């Protein structure tokens, strides 16, 4: 598929992978629908796309809310009738052990990462089916293949995304509609700005740029493959894990559990230090609550 004059909708488009993907598609002459929760950032991205002489529609929308997604889709379909490429990119993680995370923490990741994808597909797939063309790109993670301590709920959301995509791909056979999952390793974005990652090293030397992943997304939009892992060499690790789980799982589990335990220890120390520095300065309990 050539992208000139095609309509590409990207969720999580206000920064990082989503923003870079919008720029790369716009360079190819595609019209872009930018979807995110932050209106101001969306408008900044739209301004950047003006130099490519393409149409850029901004839609403020929280994809975890099915009613907002339905309203957003009505706006998009009124203007364009359909989308040619749907990029489900919005997602986030909260770091911590399952015993420490709240149910709301776990649910919120699944609502955005997994159900946000479902809501978008359900609203835009019918128009793709009507015209018998289109491509869905779901941005997952290598965490879709590895269950890891500290990000178990995030892994679950990406496992679900990959499994859903595989099932849907079978359903869409001979429909003219493709679906491909892009699964990168660590990417240098604001993903790690969530407070739960405060005591963790942010990036490794092997982490990817948003631009690298965005190029994989463009490749995916023209691919017949179910999954594109970025970088491709990591596919070997996925194969090893699937083929020799009794060997690979203990190694990964021990490594990531060590990091989790270290992070929890740092947080406990930080919390204790903060408590020491917040001794009440009067006998009035309300003063202490205010300070806390």
* Crossing angle between the packed helical segments 16-27 and 39-49, to the nearest 10 degrees: 30
Beta bridge partners of 7: 31
Question: Is 95 one of the annotated active-site residues of the chain?
Answer: no
Task: Report residue 17 CA to chain centroid gap.
Answer: 9
Query: Who contacts 217 (Cβ-Cβ below 8 Å, separation ≥6)?
Result: 17, 21, 24, 87, 89, 137, 139, 182
Which residue reads 């021990």 in tokens? 254
CB 10 within 8 A of CB 33: yes
CB 34 within 8 A of CB 57: yes
Which residue reads 């209106």 in tokens? 39
- Kindly state the helix (H) or strand (E) to which residue 134 belongs, with its residue range: strand 134-139
* Alpha-carbon dihedral sign for residues 181, 186, 187, 190: positive
Alpha-carbon distance of 161 to 31, in angstroms, equals 26
User: Using the 8-state DSSP alphabet, how is residue 15 labeled?
Assistant: S
Q: Where are the alpha helices (DSSP H) in 221-244?
A: 235-243
Selected catalytic residue, list 95, 119, 154, 246: 154
* Of 41, 42, 52, the residue nearest 9 (C-alpha): 42
Known catalytic residues are 154
């Amino acid at each position: 598929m050539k992208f000139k004059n095609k309509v590409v909708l990207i969720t999580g488009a206000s920064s990082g992978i989503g923003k870079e993907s919008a720029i790369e598609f716009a360079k190819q002459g595609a019209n872009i629908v930018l979807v995110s929760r932050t209106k101001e950032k969306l408008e900044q991205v739209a301004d950047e796309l003006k130099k490519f002489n393409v149409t850029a529609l901004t839609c403020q929308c929280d994809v975890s809310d099915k009613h907002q997604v339905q309203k957003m889709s009505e706006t998009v379909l009124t203007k364009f009738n359909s989308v040619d490429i749907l990029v489900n990119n919005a997602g986030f993680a909260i770091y911590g052990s399952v015993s420490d995370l709240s149910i709301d923490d776990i649910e919120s990741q699944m609502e955005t990462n997994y159900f946000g994808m479902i809501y978008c597909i359900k609203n835009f797939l019918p128009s793709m089916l009507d015209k018998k063309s289109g491509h869905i790109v779901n941005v997952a993670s290598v965490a879709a293949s590895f269950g890891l301590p500290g990000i178990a709920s995030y892994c679950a959301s990406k496992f679900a995304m990959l499994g859903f995509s595989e099932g849907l791909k079978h359903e869409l056979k001979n429909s003219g509609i493709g679906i491909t999952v892009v699964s990168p390793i660590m990417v240098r974005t604001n993903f790690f700005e969530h407070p739960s990652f405060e005591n963790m090293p942010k990036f490794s030397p092997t982490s990817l740029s948003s631009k690298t992943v965005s190029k994989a997304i463009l490749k995916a939009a023209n691919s017949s493959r179910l999954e594109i892992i970025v970088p491709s060499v990591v596919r070997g690790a996925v194969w090893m894990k699937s083929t020799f789980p009794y060997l690979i799982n203990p190694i990964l589990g021990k490594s990531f559990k060590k990091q989790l335990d270290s992070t929890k220890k740092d947080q406990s120390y930080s919390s204790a230090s903060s408590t020491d520095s917040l001794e009440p300065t009067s006998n009035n309990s309300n003063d202490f609550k205010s300070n806390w």
